Chains A and B, each alone.
Chain A
């Protein structure tokens, strides 16, 4: 991995990094990936999970909840007329 890979990942993850942070991260990632790479030596050809993932549904009906629109709106960092307010998109 190189600095430009760290920059690309930071861009994807929407995180700003200083030059120093990029260098530290590069070193850290090399260390961590070096450690986790050991799983590549494991032979799992015979491993088939015995269970299946399945959906668990709830009925689509209105139910009482602890929170309200008012409580949730109070947490908006910026709002106008009950809507979240963000910078112009286009």
Chain B
């Protein structure tokens, strides 16, 4: 019997190559788990009907000697990444019956590598949320405590991996939507450098922030998925093909203590301090740093993101695809369609974005936010001349109860207070499991590194797996 709990991509690959198991058998094990557990967890919105067929192809690919590390590996995909011929709803009623007309770049890369797509996973509507409670298709439950949220917006993908309903998964990040659920579910979550992974074929929320991002149980799993999906894509002008190289071993960690003097659970702080001690013991130099601009990251985010949301979501008008509700006139039809199709959070952000972009407020909000964004970018560029990594807790609290924070948007937004700096400045960051509370809820720390220094994060993360 295979121990799925401790299975990694490389272990699975080795077993497949040695003939101890086939991809069809491995896929069947995950499908069986999904059948047993998904009703309760609601991690998947749809399980694909061609999983076994995909796995058969993967087995043939391996037999013919053309296999890669990802060949035959069962993966879950967030419901906002297009897979040709499959439904893709972004967790919204407005796209309930939308069928993707092409493959996202990352899907094409994974198909070429022979991965097996198990299904599409639940998410906050249009990736707007930090708890997977704003989905039009019900909440997803945290596998560590069913009364708690898994985080979000990529909560379905996180629960799929944490509950052994997939070996690895894809999510997307606009502001912590992979790192925060990784933290709540005890997983590794990587936020790639902006531009490291093509956004082609992702349903956009905030184009200047969005990145597709992997979940794994181990750093190495997240690394293998990242290596498979990254690279320059002609269809995304912001993607780049930089050689991501490992430099000499990095040893200086900066900690901006002033950013978490208040609003962070004691249990999180204590665990964080324990982790810092472990790095000290392992020979790392720890430096106290100040990031005066970065403390405004979340405020900047809640101006720039809604502005981009209000323009992006204007395309959902019931004309070319998705839901349509007929009204008396064209304008009535738009209104009826959008009111029936968008949930409360999507409407809130569209209206907020319309406000910050409107005449008279544009300079005070949107323009100012961009200037502060530049200041944050420069602040990170400068700090990385002094330190190799910046370390913070991933989230201020462990997973909270379902229903909490739903009537207080600002309280919900503050879940991502430590996520925001990396998205706003475009750098890379990784969430690493760092222990658990007495209630067995996962805790997590986050490392940030300069643009395109993912390899350094992987090396550091692997070392933490040894010493934690």
Residues of A within 8 A of B (CB): 5-6, 9-10, 12-17, 21, 25, 28-29, 31-40, 42, 44, 47-50, 56, 58, 65-67, 71-72, 74-78, 84, 86-89
8 nearest A-B residue pairs (beta carbon): A66-B102, A77-B324, A75-B321, A56-B237, A16-B339, A67-B101, A44-B371, A14-B334
Residue B322, interface by CB 8 Å: yes
Taking a contact as CB atoms under 8 Å apart, the answer to whether A32 and B103 are in contact is no
Taking a contact as CB atoms under 8 Å apart, the answer to whether A39 and B299 are in contact is yes
- The residue of chain A having its C-beta at the shortest distance from the C-beta of B237 within the complex is A56
Residue B350, interface by CB 8 Å: yes
- The residue of chain B having its C-beta at the shortest distance from the C-beta of A18 within the complex is B339
- Please give, as numbers and ranges, the residues of chain A lying within 8 Å of B351 by CB-CB distance: 6, 9-10, 13, 15, 25, 29
**Interface digits, B416-428 against A, CB 8 Å rule (1 contact, 0 not)?**
0000000000000
Residue B374, interface by CB 8 Å: yes
**Interface digits, B271-307 against A, CB 8 Å rule (1 contact, 0 not)?**
0000000000000000000000100100110110000
Taking a contact as CB atoms under 8 Å apart, the answer to whether B321 and A42 are in contact is no
What are 18 A-B interface contacts by the 8 Å CB criterion? A10-B351, A12-B358, A13-B314, A13-B350, A14-B331, A15-B335, A16-B338, A28-B348, A29-B348, A42-B296, A44-B375, A56-B237, A58-B234, A66-B103, A86-B319, A87-B326, A87-B327, A87-B329
Known pairs A36-B300, A39-B369, A42-B296 / 13 extra A-B pairs, C-beta < 8 Å: A13-B350, A25-B348, A28-B409, A29-B351, A34-B410, A35-B302, A38-B296, A47-B375, A47-B378, A50-B378, A58-B234, A77-B318, A77-B320
Taking a contact as CB atoms under 8 Å apart, the answer to whether A12 and B409 are in contact is no
Majority secondary structure of chain B interface residues (helix, strand, loop or mixed)? helix
Residue B355, interface by CB 8 Å: yes
- Please give, as numbers and ranges, the residues of chain B lying within 8 Å of A42 by CB-CB distance: 293, 296, 368, 372, 375
Taking a contact as CB atoms under 8 Å apart, the answer to whether A36 and B302 are in contact is yes
Known: A13-B354, A28-B348, A86-B330. A35 touches B410 (CB 8 A): yes
Taking a contact as CB atoms under 8 Å apart, the answer to whether B374 and A49 are in contact is yes
Q: A29 vs B335: C-alpha distance in the bound complex, in angstroms? A: 21
Taking a contact as CB atoms under 8 Å apart, the answer to whether A15 and B338 are in contact is yes
Taking a contact as CB atoms under 8 Å apart, the answer to whether A74 and B299 are in contact is no
Residue B365, interface by CB 8 Å: yes
Q: A12 vs B314: C-alpha distance in the bound complex, in angstroms? A: 10
- Please give, as numbers and ranges, the residues of chain B lying within 8 Å of A9 by CB-CB distance: 351, 354-355, 358
Residue B99, interface by CB 8 Å: yes
Residue B1, interface by CB 8 Å: no
User: Separation in Å of the B315 CB from the closest CB of chain A?
Assistant: 12
Taking a contact as CB atoms under 8 Å apart, the answer to whether B101 and A39 are in contact is no
- Please give, as numbers and ranges, the residues of chain A lying within 8 Å of B224 by CB-CB distance: none
User: Separation in Å of the A85 CB from the closest CB of chain B?
Assistant: 9
Of listed A15, A67, A87, residue having the most chain B CB within 10 A: A15
Contact of A77 among B319, B347, B410 (CB under 8 A): B319
- Please give, as numbers and ranges, the residues of chain B lying within 8 Å of A37 by CB-CB distance: 299
Residue B364, interface by CB 8 Å: yes
User: Separation in Å of the B385 CB from the closest CB of chain A?
Assistant: 14
Residue B98, interface by CB 8 Å: yes
Taking a contact as CB atoms under 8 Å apart, the answer to whether A36 and B335 are in contact is no
Taking a contact as CB atoms under 8 Å apart, the answer to whether A40 and B103 are in contact is no
Of listed B99, B371, B378, B413, residue having the most chain A CB within 10 A: B371
User: Separation in Å of the A22 CB from the closest CB of chain B?
Assistant: 10
Contact of B299 among A38, A67, A76 (CB under 8 A): A38
Taking a contact as CB atoms under 8 Å apart, the answer to whether B358 and A15 are in contact is no
User: Separation in Å of the A72 CB from the closest CB of chain B?
Assistant: 6
- Please give, as numbers and ranges, the residues of chain A lying within 8 Å of B303 by CB-CB distance: 36, 39
Taking a contact as CB atoms under 8 Å apart, the answer to whether A44 and B372 are in contact is yes
Q: A74 vs B321: C-alpha distance in the bound complex, in angstroms? A: 9
Q: A74 vs B371: C-alpha distance in the bound complex, in angstroms? A: 44
Q: A29 vs B410: C-alpha distance in the bound complex, in angstroms? A: 10
- Please give, as numbers and ranges, the residues of chain A lying within 8 Å of B221 by CB-CB distance: none
Contact of B335 among A16, A58, A74, A76 (CB under 8 A): A16
- Please give, as numbers and ranges, the residues of chain B lying within 8 Å of A33 by CB-CB distance: 352, 355
Taking a contact as CB atoms under 8 Å apart, the answer to whether A29 and B296 are in contact is no
Q: A7 vs B324: C-alpha distance in the bound complex, in angstroms? A: 22
Q: A25 vs B339: C-alpha distance in the bound complex, in angstroms? A: 14
Taking a contact as CB atoms under 8 Å apart, the answer to whether A35 and B98 are in contact is no
Taking a contact as CB atoms under 8 Å apart, the answer to whether B330 and A39 are in contact is no
User: Separation in Å of the B360 CB from the closest CB of chain A?
Assistant: 11
- Please give, as numbers and ranges, the residues of chain B lying within 8 Å of A84 by CB-CB distance: 319-320
